[in-house]
Each structure stands twice: as C-alpha cells, then as structure tokens.
Structure 1
Amino acid sequence: MKDSNNVVSMQGVFKEQQREAKRTLSLPAPVTAVRDKAQALLAEQAKLVFAKVDDSLFAMAEKAHGQDEQDGLFQALRLLRVERRKVVERFSTHLADAFHVRDVPADERDDPYAADNLSLVHNDDLEQLVAVDTMVAHAKRDFSQPLTEISLRLNTLLSVKIYDKNNPLGPDAICDAFVEACRPLDLHIRARLTLLKKFEQLVMANLGKLYEQCNDLFVEHGVLPSLKQQRRAARQQRPSPGAQGVRGGQATAAEASQERAGSMSTGGHGGGHGLLPLGAGVAPMPPQDLLSHLGALQSHLPENYDGEEIQLLNVNSLLQQRLLEVRQSASLAKMDSDIIKLVEMLFSFILEDRNLAEPIKSQLGRLQLPLLKVAIADKSFFSKGGHPARKLLNELADAATGWQAKEGYASDPLFKKISEVVAKVLAEFDQDIHIFSTLLESFREFILRERKRAEKLERRIVDEADGKAKTQAARARVAAVMDALTAERDLPPVVTEWLEKVWSNMLFLTCIKEGTESERWNRDVRTARDLVWSVHAPMPDSRKQLLGLLPALQERLRAGVEAVSLSAFDARRMFAGLKDVYRERFALAQRLAEERSRKAREAVRDEVSEQVRSQAAQETRAPAADVQADSAQPAETVVELPQMEELEQVVAQAEVAPAASEEVEALPQSDSHWQQTFRLAQGSWFELKRGDEEQFRCRLAAVIKDIDQFIFVNRNGAKVAEFTRVELAHALRNAQLMPLDDGMLFERALQSVIGTVRKSRGEMS
C-alpha cells in the first residue's frame, strides 16, 4: 500500500510538472497579453457568480419541498462559501492551460454522428450537460462574429489550426474550465444547476465585452487590424430592410430561412445538395432554418398511422430528402445533431414501452417531430420537469396505461381524444409552446369526467367488498370470544340462549360500528364474561361478589335486549329463566353454608378431654375437609375463565381471511413475492394473464385489510379479479400478474436513455 501511495504521489507531481512546463512555454506576446487580460476579467466575473448564487441557494433552501433537498442545498451553500476562492483559482488555471492549444482530432471535427459522441449525455448527469450545452450554443450564436475574428487572429499567431472546440477563448473552453473547476465539489444537483445558471447569466451572456476587448488588444499589437475596418464596411454595405422585401420592417422567417439556405447551397461545395457532415465546407444550419425544415416535414406526416406499423422516424434521412427536394445543402450543428439523436432514443423507448397498447404508441409516436422542434427551440426541455410539452406527453401516457385495444377501438372515447390532441399538435404547433398547455388543460378536463364515472362504480364495488369483509371479520371475532368463554363449560340452557340470541348479536353490532379497539367492545365482552362467571362462580365463597354484580349485570343485559330488538315475550322468559338459575345458586350457597356451620359446632362440642379433644380434632379436620369438598364440588367441574387480556389476544388471532383454494400452498415469510404483496401501492397498474389467450390491464383498487383481500378493477371501475394474499403472491411468482411501471413516461424514457449511453460508454472504455 505504501508503494502504491508513492506511485500515486509521484504521478501527481509529474502531472503538475507537466502543467507548469506548459505554462512556461513561450507564447507570442499578443497571445500572452490577451490571455492575461481574459484571465483577469473572467476571474472577476466568476467571483461575482459566487456572490449571487449565495442568495439564490438560500432562497431555494427555504422553499425546498423535502428535508433531504433542503439539507442538500444548505450543505451546498456552506461548501461554496468555503471553497469559492479555490474554485476561482482552479478556473483561472484551466483558462491559462487552454492557451496551450492542441489540435482537434479529425473524428471529433468531422464525425458528429458517431454513437459515442452524444455530448448531451457525456457525463453522469444529463441535466447538467444540457445546461452546459445550452449556454455554449447560445454564446456561439450571439458572439459568432467576434469569435470568428479571434480565431482568425490566433491562426496567424499559433502553429495549431484553431476550431470552435480548441479556441482558448471560445465558449467551449471557458465553460469547460468552469465545470472542471467545480467538479471536485460534492453539490446537490439543484445547487449545481443554479451555479451553472448564474455562470451563464453573469459570464457567458456577457462574453461580448470580453471578445471586444481581446480583439482590440490584438489590434493594438498589430494582429490583422484590417478585420475591424472590413467588419465596419460590411455593416455599411448590408442592404436595408426595405430592400429585402420585408413586411412591417422585418423579414419573415420563411424568407430569411430561404435566403440563408440558398446561400449555403452554393458555398464551398460545388453545387451539391443534401445534408452534409459538419466541416464539409458548408456552415451549420441555423436553428431557425432547421425548425423551418422540421415544420415542413411535420406538415407532411400522414393523418393516421396503422397502430401495428408505427416506426421511429429517421430524422437525418428525412432532412436529407427535404434538402434534396428544395435543392439546398447544409450541415447540422453539433448541438442540434445531438438533440436529434436524443429525441430519437427517447421515442425508441416510448414505442417499445409495454405499458401502452400499440394504437396508443402509434399516436404518441407521431409527436416525435413536434417534440424535436420543442427541444431545438428550447434547450430547457430536457432539464425542466414542468415543461408543458413533457407534461402533455406524460398525461396522455398516464391516462392510457390501463387502456386496451378491443375490437372497434377507434371509436373508444379515450383513443379518440388522444388522437384529437395529437392531430391538433401536428396541425397547429409551429414554435409557440402555449398550445401544449391549452391542450393539456382540455385533456385533463376530459379525463376528470371519465374518472368520475369510473369512480362511482369502483366505489360501489369496494364498499360492497369492504362491507362483506367487515361482516365476515366481525362474525369470526365474535365466534372467537364465545368459544373462549364456553369451551368445556356446562352452561344452563337459558345462559346459552342469552349468549346466542342476545350477546353474540350485540358483540357483532359493536364490532361493525365501533371496532374491537373501542371501549364499547371491551364493555360488551366483559358483560359476556360476567354472565358466564355468574353461573359458574364457586359457592358459597362468591355469594357476596355475585350479589354485588347482579344489579349492574341485569341493566347491561336489558340494554342488550333493546339493542338487538329482542321480542318482549322472549325477554321476559329469558330473564325469568335467569332468575331461576340465580335462585338455585343462592339456595345452594345457603345449604353449603349451613352444613359448614353445623359441622363446625359439632367439632367444638366434642372437645372435652385431651384424648377426646385429639379425637375431636381429628373428627373436626375430617368434617371440615368434607365441608370444603362439598363447597368446592361445584367448582371442580369449572375451567378457569380467561381474563380480559386473554380474550383480547383471542380476538386478535381470530382467523378472518377468506379461505384460499386448496391448490394454493402457503409461502414462507421470507419469500420475495410474499413480501412484495405488502409493498403494492393502491392505484398501481398490472397486466393480468388468464390462460394463453386472455390478458388485460387492471388496477389495484383496494386492499380489504379485515380479510386480507386484494380487489382489482379495469379503467372503467368494474371488478375483474380478487386475490387473497397468498393467491396474489403466487400470481406474482408465476407472472400471471405483472406490475406495470407507473412512473412518468418522459422521465422513464430519459432514465432509460441515460442508462443505455452509460452502458455503451462503459463497454467502449
């Protein structure tokens, strides 16, 4: 381990020496001056970023939705306060290193279509990469003219060819330097995105001032001073808006697009047409031109697709055909090329998703071009979970999760509504994303009406099953109490009648209305126990206790008679029968007491001499034993009554679950499918198979806890299946019942794409 540490340490020293050697390499004086100027300005702007992000993170932490998120934001806040100076220093170092330019490999310059070149998902966190690519793309677009001048001037001073990627003052280099400077920080993703947003607002959006000062500094050093005059002359010679045939002082998007596309078709390619690789001699297609071409492709999509034949669109191929038709040539910017690939991967996942029926996937697949246009026009599409276009796609998919394509499905209300929404997007969406919000609101109103109708039927089914379960459970618990009180006891017939006709019903009603945890239930169980004790208490020892109990017991029995609506005739008869039992009990107590007293007096009278006393003592003990035996005789046939705590345990252990089929064997508690039944969430969707032919979608509507039963319904609210817990575990084990992923479709697709790219990159490395 020590040697290993030494190796690592020596490697670190070696890398630092290499870095220092790079810094000391002589650069042309103009480049050195520009480097120092840029380094100083950007470092000052970076310090301002940390000052501003502090307030933003504090406000976000106070409004955080959960404790974990709030803790993560506060931790990021503290870390940034401590590390800001080191981050700015690392940022300056990386900026300086960028001036020791390396040549960009040809495959990175000319082959943006390679499968391993998807920059949007280059790192682990897609959202961060989208934010970075967005700010870089915006800066390249906004500052293309001064950037071109810087590249031309650097090309005259350096031996390495300068491209966008290796320009030390380009948005790529500046943004990469900041990302690398922040990489060692363990930040919550929201904090990292906020930091990048502030960097975009305060640094990247203001690069124009930096580029102007750098170009002026180059001019001061005599580096291509004529470029400044050429730029001024070009602005003066540019035709006025009126000479361009515009309406209202501005050229229409179509005219501007046609003009730019026409100029591209003749530039450096000898008149060839079509989609060409980046760097093949034509400029990258401006986003507005790309959107115009995609809009034309969108308008020519067929009105309806066959649900069985929907296929993923090859956008590059369609663009190639489009450019050939209009006799234009163009290339795709790296950012746009990556977005096209990413959207294709997302829709590839959607079209393979087993959660959705084929006709629904057919309709959602038609949204590929509109959503691609959204992603090109608005780079926050991938990082903004609340984007209206994403929300609409998620809502359509969520509503269709339980939908099945039955015969004549084209007339199904849900399918018709989804088809209508998709058709409106294709027909009306150009670049205004508000149409997605409008359609989302309309679709939600439709779904709300649909679900209200289904909920009425579902509620009736669940209430019926719940009522049946409560009845079954109450009967089982009452029976458990009665069995515990009467087992192995020879009770008078009238007491048995009281328990069966009155008190079983009384307990049943209490269990249904108030449950077994209520005070009322405990009082009624105690009454039943007192009734049994009253006719089995040992006499004469319990005579006094029984006398104290009977008045209150009689009142409770009268209340029970009224609660169960026992007829007055039966009530009088049963009370009379009970009085006869108690009269016999007290008569027995009187006889036993008198017998015990008489034998005690005889024992005292016989004590006249020591021998007689001894004999009398023996005789006294014998009769006393006889008396006790006589008095205890009734108790010998009585089994000890359970205490209230024991009765509570009997109720808790009462078997109330519906009997499973004899063919279904019990599963051990450790079985994964048995454990899974305890984690299923109400409302989850499943695919249920019955035989080789029949399969359908169903939703877990309710878990009837009293009898451990699971009720499943279809999307219309009708019951389609019910399982006991052990039956459900077997259904899951045998893949008869398979859970469907109920996460949001777009987010699931995005996670799948990220996973696929990570895996492919891991295999390549």
Structure 2
Amino acid sequence: MNESNKVVSLAERSSAQLDFSPRKRKPLPSAVAVLRDKARNLLLEQTKRLFAKVDDSLFSMAERAHGQEEQDGLFQALRLLRVERRNIAERFAEKLDEAFQVKSPDQERDHNVASGDLSLVHNDDLEQLVAADTMVANAKRTYAEPLTELSLRLDTLYSVKIYEKNNPLGPDAICDAFVEAVRPLDIHIRARLTLLKKFEQVVMLQLQEFYEFCNQLLVEHGILPSLREQRRVARQQSGRSTGPSPTTGATPGAGQNQAAGQGQTGAAGAVAGGSFAPGLLPATAGLAPMPSGDLLTHLGALQSGSQYQSAAGIQLLNVSELLQQRLVQANQAASLAKVDSDIIKLVEMLFSFILEDRSLAAPLKSQLGRLQLPLLKVAIADKSFFSKGGHPARKLLNELAQTATGWQAGDNYESDPLYREISRVVDRVLSEFDRDVNIFSQLLESFREFTLRERKRAEMLERRVVDEADGRAKTHAARARVAAVMDALIAERDLPQVVHDWLHKVWNNVLFLTCVKDGTESEPWRRDVRTARDLVWSVQAPMPDSRQQLLGLLPALQERLREGVEAVSLNPFEARSLFAELKEVYRERFALAQQLIAERERLAKEQVERDMREAAAAGPAEEMDSLPQEAADDVAVPQMEELEQVVAQAEVVTEPEQEGLAPLPENDPHWQMTFRLAQGSWFELKRAEGEQFRCRLAAVIRDIERFIFVNRNGAKVEEFARLELAHALRSGRLMPLNDGMLFERALQSVIGNVRQTRNEQR
C-alpha cells in the first residue's frame, strides 16, 4: 500500500493505533449505550451523503488533472471508494463504538509518555495531519458550548473523568474514527485530502444540531437537566463580579467555556492571576487555548526581542521556554492548542537539522537559524505551510541555502558579498515580517538578482577553465580517432609512397582539424574520411575492370585533395610534387589497364579461332582460360560503415593517472558513483596539507575521462581522472555535500527520526 507522509500530533491517536489486538469492552451505562447507538446512526447518515459529494468532486478533479498518472490515480480512487463504501461505514461505526470505552487519566498519561508529543503514524503526509488537526480545532471552537455541556453530562455517567480530549463524541473522536476508517484505502493523496475536506464540510461543520440532540437525549434520561440554566446564571454572576475569583466553584469545563465565550482581551487569551498560575499551562489544565492570532502577537514580540539581534553563534531557540518567560513576566496564564504546540516542536526540529547540516558553513548556518521565529509564525498562520512546496517562505530559505552551499568562511568573511547579502535578507525578514508573506517573495526576487550577477562573473572564469579542459580533450580524442582511420586504411596494404605521403603529410592534418571543429558525427568528417578511403581505393582497385569507375572518380577526388591542401596550408612546391607523383601513379595504372585490355583481346581472338577448328570435333569443348586481369589486393579497402565503427571504438589516450592507484572492480560502489555524479554537485575536498575546499563539479570531459572541479568563483580547484576520483571518494578526501532543497531535506529527516523513535517505542 502506498502511504503518504503524515506527522500526527495527537499522541493518544498514535497509541490507540499501535494496538490492534481485540479488547473486551466494558458494559456501558444504559443512557450512554442509547446515546452511542443514536449518535452512531446519525453520523452514519451524514457520512452516506458525503460519498455522493466525493464522487462529483473526484470526477471533476480527474477531468482537470495535469497528467495521465494523476488522472488515473483519481479515477482509481473514485472506483475504489464506490466499492469500499460499506466497509468504510462499518469501520467508522466500529471506531465510534471504541471511543465510548473511555480510558482513565493514568492510561492517557502512559500513552502520551510512550508515544511522545509528536509521533509518526502509518503514513508520511503532513497535509493529512493539517487537514485533520485543523478540522478538529475549528470544531472545538465552533461547538465549545454544547461540547462542554456534553462532557459534563457524560462525566456523571463514567467512572473516569470526562473532558474535552476523551469525550467519546468530541471532534477528536469523530475525526479519528473517520481517518482510521479510510486509512486502509490505497488511494491518491489528492483523493484522500478531498475525502477529508468533504468530511469536514458534510459532517464536522454540521455538528451543532448533532450536539444539541445528544445533550437533549441525556436530559431526557435525567442527566443534569438544569445544567444550561446553571451555566447561564454562573456567567451572569461572573460578569457582574469585579475580578476572577479562585473559589467560584465552577468546574474546569465550565471555566474553559467561560473563557472562550467571553473572548478575553490581552495576550493569547491569557488570564492574569486568578485561578491559574502565570505561565504556559498544559492543555489539560482546563484553560481555553490561546487563539492563533494572539500566539502570533507573542511570537512577533519575541522576534523583535533583543535575544534575536545578534547573529554570532546563534543557538536553536526553545520557543516554549520563551513563551513561558514572557507570560510569567506579564503575570498571565495561557495554554496552547495542540496543533500550535506541535507546529512549534516541528519547526524546532527542522531548525535543529539546519543548524547541524554539514553542507553549510557555520556563519551562514547561524544566519539561516535566525529565521526560526519568522518561519514559525508562517507555519502557525498557514497550516498548509508544511505541504505547500511553493510557499514563498520555503522558497526563500531554500534559495539562501542552495546559494550558501559552496561558500566557505575566510578570515574576513563578514565583508564577503554573499555573507553580507544573506545577512541583509535575514535582517529584513526579522524587522519587516509580521503577517504579510509577500515580504518573502520580494526578498526572494532581489536575492535572485544578486545571485544572478554573482553567477555571471563566476561563469566567465569557469567557462575558460572548462574550455581549456575541453580543448585538451578534443585534441586527444581527435588524434586517437584519426590514427584509427589511418591504421584501418594502411594496415597490411602495399601502397605507393606518394599515397603514404598524402595520408601522413596532408590528410592526417585535414581529419584532425575536421574532428576538432565539427566532430565525428558531422558531414565534413564523413566527406574527409571518404576522400582518404577513395585515395587508397584508387591505387588498389583491380584493373581493367575498375577503369571506368576510376575515370569517373578522379576529377572529384582531385578537387577534394586540392581543398585539403588549402585547408592545411601545405607548401605549394610540396603540393605540386605530391600531385605530380600521384598523377604518375594513375598514368601507370591506366597504361597497365590498356596492356591488359590488349592482351585480353588477343587471347579472345585466339580462343575464337580455336573454337572454329574444333567445332566439328565430337568431344566436349574445353573451358576457356581466364582472361588476364590485374591481381586485386588481398585485403579489401574497408567500407565507410567499417571506418565509422573503427572511429567509435577508438581508445582515447588520456593523461597518465596518479601512480600507485590500484584498479577498482567494476562493482565497487565508489567506482560506480563516478558514473552517476551530476554536473553542478557540490563536494568538500581535503588536501594533504590539511586544507579544505568546497568545490563544484563543473564539467565531465568524457573523451579523456577527466572531472573538473571549481569553487564558487569559477576558479579551478582540482582535476581528477576517473580512477583518481573513485579513490578520492573512497578515502573520504572528496565528500559529497547535499545541496538539495534544505527545507525538504530537513522535513524528511525529522519525519524519519520520528518514525524511528516511534518504532523503537513499540
């Protein structure tokens, strides 16, 4: 099954999902059993309407899908949901029933300790986390009044304390039941998120009447029938009092609802003095979580605080501790919503990875670390931040990190242009960012303009380095390929000396120039190779049968030879001598051909006379002897296809590799790595004298198997042959740096670490 990434913030969810063994359910009070059955039926009815809406949405999404793979995934999800509706409903009902087996507070604490505050559950999709936690948080705010009443009434029926978290019909329980019901489905992530969105619209946002019904059902069973009136009177009395009293006698649930209902002003919905000690309180304290807007106000104050002004040796911030100090100083008490608490932890884990990343130099890591609070504010305000790859804040962080990968601190690094520019960007984020994320887009654009100017300067020097290496490579390759052609044409053939002179003095240079300039796949190269082949054939072709073909070839061949002489600027006197000597060879060949033709005619005439004398003879005629002809060369002149193959197989003689390096087997991982290195990848190079350099693979010169490395400014740092490179990688002298998207790497690392921790705790 393909599972998507999800970091689930509810520790109790994680604990429940780890234990799939059947449990013996405890009998429920009669009123609770009736409530369970009625509530389950109502929720199942609402869920039935959900599937019809999901069908329409998935079909529309599939028609607008950007690619065939996505469209197929959505259609497959649509078909699977139609088939699995009954099973989903059954699992949903089962999970709802399980929620009524409420755990004791001690059991809850044990589960929380075992699971941790942030745990990985079965898939790796943060979007699903955000969708689930957001719909739960919204429902808790919207239905705070009836939820509190329902918790208080159920509290009188259970032997364990009932509060918001373990309310069997609370938003947590309903959402968890549905998430678990659809978890076994192997469907596209977009389809899964659409399913959750429709569940929120059809079920979670329509719970007002449901909770009213549940409360009324318990009232009919005589469970706290006057609770609402008592709570109304308590609120009126509280409103007339001059200040909060620690001895009002209100239950934690009522106090929580009161705080939420009154919408107290001040930092993060905090309360001063009174029933709660100043500081950051746990969610179970009974205090309504501070709204996200108030939390952002606190974080904004911390962002502009003095502890964040210095960039030297910056350490990871403990945001919870800073919030605690701020609330204590203000004599206020507040608690965090679970989703906000988990986002704080997640961002801390992400920046812990960033500050430990060996791909970045320490001064620039410190600068990037200063973005912890601004990015935390972004994540609090926009819960899709972790799943939105194109978010401008993420793009800015990735761009800064990617540009910083090849940078290394010098003696006066504070004056380095890149360090100053990144410092400027970070300073502007800290001083200007409040809630408007457009500042990240503006800074990203200006930073890209800076890097473009820097890159252009470096590219000029890098181009010269690569061109020089490429020129050497083409020279070596051209010599090897021309030598292969010459060997194929001359080997084992007795050629006139003038033809040897033409090939070595003229055509060797012609082919070399053409190979360097146009390459071996070009038409000029094929034309010049054909000329060399025709020259050899012209003095090897058997006569007189090839006489007519040779007569037709010579004018064009002579013209091509003349062009070659001009191309290599051969001495005119030497050129005239070569043409004269070659002309003499052809004169002799045609004279020989004429002699052979005359001899052939004489023999033919004698054969006719012999046939006439023997015509009356009774015996069979004897076979005519073969007519005279010039003997052909034992080794045929190779065809053009054969010459092309010879060129392709030519071994390029490279520069000698470092002595003393043992050959590596083909399956050696570092030898194999040399074939997979991508141009532009960054490395850390250690030299014998202890120096360390950050360098980038600028080019791989395939013809001579050389790897060219340059620094950020485009200057050449090192050049390796393939075997040298493999040994450097194997010994750790050259170590790859991970220059992938920093935010995505950090997120992947955090998810992997949480998954490992969770597996170890099973």
TM-score of Structure 1 vs Structure 2, range by shorter chain = 0.7 to 0.9
Give me the whole-angstrom Cα distance separating, in 2, the residues matched to 1:662 and 1:417.
41
Residue 722 of structure 1 corresponds to 719
Residue 261 of structure 1 corresponds to 270
Residue 12 of structure 1 corresponds to none
Residue 758 of structure 1 corresponds to 755
Give me the whole-angstrom Cα distance separating, in 1, the residues matched to 2:723 and 2:289.
63
Question: Aligned AA for 1:484?
Answer: A
Q: Which runs of 5+ in 2 are unaligned?
A: 1-19, 244-261
1:166 aligns with 2:166: yes
Give me the whole-angstrom Cα distance separating, in 1, the residues matched to 2:578 and 2:519.
28
Residue 411 of structure 2 corresponds to 407
CA 1:260–1:544: 2 relative to 1, 3 Å: closer
Q: Which moved more, 1:674-683 or 1:165-174?
A: 674-683
How much does 1:171 deviate? 0.8
Residue 297 of structure 1 corresponds to 302
1:698 aligns with 2:698: no
Q: Is the 8 A contact 2:367 2:422 kept in 1?
A: yes
CA 1:92–1:662: 2 relative to 1, 3 Å: closer
Q: Is the 8 A contact 1:660 1:727 kept in 2?
A: no
Aligned pair partner of 2:520 in 516, 520, 527 = 516
Equivalent runs, 1:111-260 vs 2, <5 Å: 114=113, 116-119=115-118, 121-127=120-126, 128-230=128-230, 232=232, 256-258=265-267, 260=269
Residue 38 of structure 1 corresponds to 39
Give me the whole-angstrom Cα distance separating, in 1, the residues matched to 2:289 and 2:607.
127
SS at match of 1:390: helix
1:712 aligns with 2:709: yes
Q: Is the 8 A contact 1:109 1:278 kept in 2?
A: no
Give me the whole-angstrom Cα distance separating, in 1, the residues matched to 2:426 and 2:719.
36
Residue 737 of structure 1 corresponds to 734
Provide Cα deviations, 1:69-121, integer angstroms capped at 9, x if missing partner: 4433332222112212331233233223423x322343635996x47323453
How much does 1:409 deviate? 1.0
CA 1:91–1:657: 2 relative to 1, 3 Å: farther
Give me the whole-angstrom Cα distance separating, in 2, the residues matched to 1:399 and 1:711.
20
CA 1:139–1:359: 2 relative to 1, 3 Å: same
Question: Aligned AA for 1:524?
Answer: D
Identity %: 69
SS at match of 1:275: strand
Equivalent runs, 1:367-378 vs 2, <5 Å: 367-378=371-382
Aligned pair partner of 2:650 in 654, 672, 675 = 654
Equivalent runs, 1:500-539 vs 2, <5 Å: 500-539=504-543
Count of matched residue positions in the alignment of Structure 1 and Structure 2: 716
CA 1:491–1:254: 2 relative to 1, 3 Å: farther
CA 1:584–1:346: 2 relative to 1, 3 Å: same
Give me the whole-angstrom Cα distance separating, in 2, the residues matched to 1:547 and 1:287.
95
Aligned pair partner of 1:643 in 639, 643, 659 = 639
Q: Is the 8 A contact 1:390 1:746 kept in 2?
A: yes
CA 1:763–1:414: 2 relative to 1, 3 Å: same
Aligned pair partner of 2:278 in 262, 273, 281 = 273
CA 1:347–1:717: 2 relative to 1, 3 Å: same
How much does 1:434 deviate? 3.1
How much does 1:438 deviate? 2.8
Q: Which moved more, 1:441-450 or 1:567-576?
A: 567-576
CA 1:319–1:277: 2 relative to 1, 3 Å: same
Q: Is the 8 A contact 2:267 2:295 kept in 1?
A: no
Please give the TM-score of this superposition, normalised by the length of structure 2.
Answer: 0.84
1:388 aligns with 2:392: yes
Question: Aligned AA for 2:146?
Answer: P
Aligned pair partner of 1:683 in 680, 684, 687 = 680
1:88 aligns with 2:89: yes
Question: Aligned AA for 1:556?
Answer: R
Q: Is the 8 A contact 1:682 1:700 kept in 2?
A: yes
CA 1:488–1:322: 2 relative to 1, 3 Å: same
How much does 1:155 deviate? 1.4
SS at match of 1:158: coil
1:56 aligns with 2:64: no
SS at match of 2:717: strand
CA 1:208–1:436: 2 relative to 1, 3 Å: farther
Residue 99 of structure 2 corresponds to 98
Provide Cα deviations, 1:132-181, integer angstroms capped at 9, x if missing partner: 22222222233222211110111123333212232111011101110121
CA 1:52–1:740: 2 relative to 1, 3 Å: farther
Provide Cα deviations, 1:189-242, integer angstroms capped at 9, x if missing partner: 2322222222223322332332233334444544333333345557778979xx
Residue 4 of structure 2 corresponds to none
SS at match of 1:164: coil
How much does 1:357 deviate? 0.6
Give me the whole-angstrom Cα distance separating, in 2, the residues matched to 1:108 and 1:427.
43
Q: Is the 8 A contact 2:311 2:370 kept in 1?
A: no
Question: Aligned AA for 2:30?
Answer: P
Give me the whole-angstrom Cα distance separating, in 2, the residues matched to 1:343 and 1:556.
73
Residue 7 of structure 1 corresponds to none
Give me the whole-angstrom Cα distance separating, in 1, the residues matched to 2:270 and 2:598.
125
SS at match of 2:284: coil
Aligned pair partner of 2:331 in 327, 339, 343 = 327
How much does 1:508 deviate? 3.0
Equivalent runs, 1:317-716 vs 2, <5 Å: 317-540=321-544, 542-564=546-568, 566=570, 569-591=573-595, 632=631, 639-656=635-652, 658-663=654-659, 664-716=661-713
Please give the TM-score of this superposition, normalised by the length of structure 1.
Answer: 0.84
Q: Is the 8 A contact 1:684 1:742 kept in 2?
A: yes
CA RMSD of aligned residues (A): 3.7
Give me the whole-angstrom Cα distance separating, in 1, the residues matched to 2:348 and 2:590.
93
Give me the whole-angstrom Cα distance separating, in 2, the residues matched to 1:62 and 1:474.
55
Q: Is the 8 A contact 2:488 2:638 kept in 1?
A: yes
How much does 1:254 deviate? 13
Question: Aligned AA for 1:180?
Answer: E
Q: Is the 8 A contact 1:111 1:277 kept in 2?
A: no
CA 1:747–1:492: 2 relative to 1, 3 Å: same
From the two aligned structures, give the one with the greater helix fraction.
Answer: 1
CA 1:428–1:213: 2 relative to 1, 3 Å: farther
